[in-house]
């Protein structure tokens, strides 16, 4: 992998985008005078700084190969689940179920991914863990709000662990003529999903007028959505050379990633709105918590994985 | 201190704890942090959440009987937290809990105390015991900083041994001092209100 020129180009491209963003951020900081504008620019610059850190961490994991990705996403799942469960009020009776969720289910799921055991990692949580969670809670004996509490833990494991684990699982796909190059698919998925988020934000901030779902998220606008989808789909199509797809196929898959990602962001916003908070946490400066950053990825990863698996393997 | 770094690291991984000051600039001088008590992990979490320079001269006050019951606890109390252990039960003149606390204050250490004397039931702290008033009387001008600990009871509820990760937070408020002529009841009431005011 270390000599794959396409990977180097992807890296150079991402580095280039970050450099340009930082320069633009610095110029905006010097130019913008209004108080509200300065706050927006300060948040923008915090986000860009955090992007540098996230890209460097991801690059490091990538350099360590499949194991690096599994460890990184396993850690993100752990931190994401921690944020999710903190927000979803569980009860005393859930304590031991939660212990299993954090310290057994998360490592096991990522172990199955690393072991390339498709038949297990693709059903472990939706079958075995989904059945185990209510059993363990029932054994603890507290029936008050049982269904609701069970659903919270199941759903947390679904979005924070199961869905997210599909990103490193891309390493296990066997695509003819693409052996040993799957790391580029992970970069592709992350790049398209995150660029879609970024461009929805940019188009929304500049042109946004009409809200998609005003009761769920005031920052999601039709202008941002359509602009972000088109831009990210175009950029995704333009990355076809690093993938096993033709330009048209790449555009189609990018559209799938961006749409799934948008719905992921929407659903996770609805959960935040229900709990009365703005962010899941404060781990990543300017972005909020881990789940604020990977909400779109968590919906996009499994859909992208299964689309590629169905059509290309 | 590898054990110390390990304990602090584990607490951070479990609780992602953050310290925030409300309504005041951070206090860095000697003081007594008084907090609500919800979990056995409280003292450790507040201690681990403090900035390193402050933490190094801050000692949690803890029950002698609990923390000397076995070797692991003794090790943690002595080597990791550098706790000030006080007698809760058979208090005599020679085991007066004030003596070790005052001695620690005299060496320049700050203290972490839980003035309820037990873990709170429900969402409000119980009435404060007189300990912090005694400290205030014996050391004039000593600052008392309220510390509201949130969500740690879900990390390690009463009766559980294994912790579960959960985001927790510590909110610190403006220090209060014993005023001239202030009665014990008034001071304790004022301290409790200052703590309650930090509740989110």
Q: What is the pLDDT along chain B (200 residues), one digit of tens a residue?
A: 788 899 999 998 888 888 889 888 888 889 999 999 888 888 888 999 998 889 999 999 988 888 888 999 899 998 899 999 998 777 777 778 889 999 999 999 999 999 987 777 777 788 888 889 999 999 988 999 999 998 888 898 888 889 999 988 899 999 999 998 899 999 999 999 999 999 86
CB atoms within 10 A of CB B200: 8
* pTM score, whole prediction: 0.90
pLDDT in tens, B109-128: 999 999 987 777 777 788 88
> With contact defined as beta carbons under 8 Å apart, do A260 and A299 qualify?
yes
- Secondary structure of B27-76 in the HEC alphabet? CCCCCEEEECCCCCCHHHHHHHHCCHHHHCCEEEEEEHHHHCCCHHHHHH
Q: Which of A11, A298, A281 is nearest to A157 (CA)?
A: A298
Report, as ranges of residue numbers, the positions in chain A whose pLDDT lies below 50. Answer: 1
What is the least distance, in Å, from the CA of A202 to any CA of chain B?
A: 31
The chain B residue lying nearest A280, using CA atoms, is B167
Q: Give contacts of B154 with chain A, Cβ < 8 Å.
A: 86, 90, 95
What is the per-residue DSSP string for A171-194? GG---TT-TT-THHHHHHHHHHHH
Q: Give contacts of B167 with chain A, Cβ < 8 Å.
A: 82-83, 86, 281
Give the contacts of B56 (CB within 8 A, at least 6 positions apart): none
Q: Provide the terminal-to-terminal Cα distance of chain A, rounded to the nearest Å.
A: 21
pLDDT value at position A3?
64
- Phi, psi values for residue A282, rounded to 5°: -140, 25
What are the C-alpha distances in Å from A68 to residues A110, A120, B25, B185, B193?
11, 21, 41, 59, 50
Contact between A281 and B166 using a beta-carbon 8 Å cutoff: no
pLDDT value at position B66?
85
Number of residues that make up chain B: 200
pLDDT value at position A1?
46
Burial class (CB in 10 A: 0-12, 13-18, 19+), B28: exposed
């Amino acid at each position: 992998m270390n000599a794959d020129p396409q990977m180097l180009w992807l890296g150079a491209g991402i580095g280039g985008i970050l450099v340009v963003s930082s320069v633009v951020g610095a110029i905006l900081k010097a130019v913008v005078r209004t108080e509200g504008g300065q706050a927006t620019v300060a948040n923008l610059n915090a986000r860009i700084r955090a992007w540098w850190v996230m890209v460097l961490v991801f690059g490091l994991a990538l350099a360590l190969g499949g194991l690096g990705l599994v460890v990184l996403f396993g850690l993100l799942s752990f931190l994401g689940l921690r944020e999710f469960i903190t927000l979803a009020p569980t009860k005393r009776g859930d304590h031991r179920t939660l212990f299993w969720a954090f310290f057994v289910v998360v490592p096991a799921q990522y172990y199955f991914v690393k072991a390339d055991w498709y038949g297990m990692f693709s059903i472990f949580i939706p079958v075995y863990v989904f059945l185990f969670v209510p059993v363990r809670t029932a054994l603890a004996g507290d029936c008050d709000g049982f269904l609701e509490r069970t659903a919270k833990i199941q759903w947390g494991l679904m979005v924070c662990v199961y869905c997210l684990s599909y990103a490193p699982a891309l390493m296990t796909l066997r695509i003819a003529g693409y052996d040993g190059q799957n790391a580029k698919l992970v970069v592709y998925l992350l790049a398209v999903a995150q660029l879609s988020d970024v461009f929805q934000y940019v188009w929304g901030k500049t042109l946004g007028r009409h809200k998609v779902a005003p009761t769920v998220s005031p920052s999601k606008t039709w202008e941002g959505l359509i602009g972000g989808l088109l831009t990210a789909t175009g950029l995704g199509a333009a990355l076809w050379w690093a993938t096993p797809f033709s330009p048209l196929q790449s555009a189609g898959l990018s559209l799938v990633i961006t749409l799934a990602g948008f719905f992921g962001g929407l659903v996770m916003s609805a959960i935040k709105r229900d709990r009365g908070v703005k962010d899941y946490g404060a781990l990543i400066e300017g972005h909020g918590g881990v789940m604020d950053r990977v909400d779109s990825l968590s919906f996009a990863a499994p859909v992208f994985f299964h689309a590629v698996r169905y059509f290309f393997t | 201190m590898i054990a110390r770094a390990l304990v602090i690291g584990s607490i951070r991984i479990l609780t992602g704890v953050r310290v925030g000051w409300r309504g005041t600039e951070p206090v860095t001088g000697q003081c007594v942090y008084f907090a609500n008590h919800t979990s056995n992990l409280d003292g450790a979490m507040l201690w681990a959440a403090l900035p390193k320079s402050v933490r190094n001269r801050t000692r949690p006050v803890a029950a002698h009987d609990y923390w000397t019951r076995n070797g692991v606890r003794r090790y943690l109390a002595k080597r990791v937290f550098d706790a000030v252990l006080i007698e809760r039960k058979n208090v005599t003149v020679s085991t007066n809990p004030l003596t070790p606390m005052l001695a620690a204050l005299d060496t320049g250490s700050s203290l972490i105390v839980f003035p309820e004397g037990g873990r709170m039931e429900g969402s409000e702290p119980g009435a404060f015991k007189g300990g912090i008033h005694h400290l205030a009387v014996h050391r004039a001008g000593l600052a008392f900083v309220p510390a509201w600990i949130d969500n740690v009871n879900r990390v390690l509820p009463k009766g559980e041994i294994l912790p579960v990760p959960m985001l927790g937070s510590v909110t610190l408020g403006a220090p209060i001092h014993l005023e001239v002529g202030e009665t014990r009841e008034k001071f304790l009431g004022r301290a409790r209100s200052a703590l309650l005011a930090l509740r989110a």
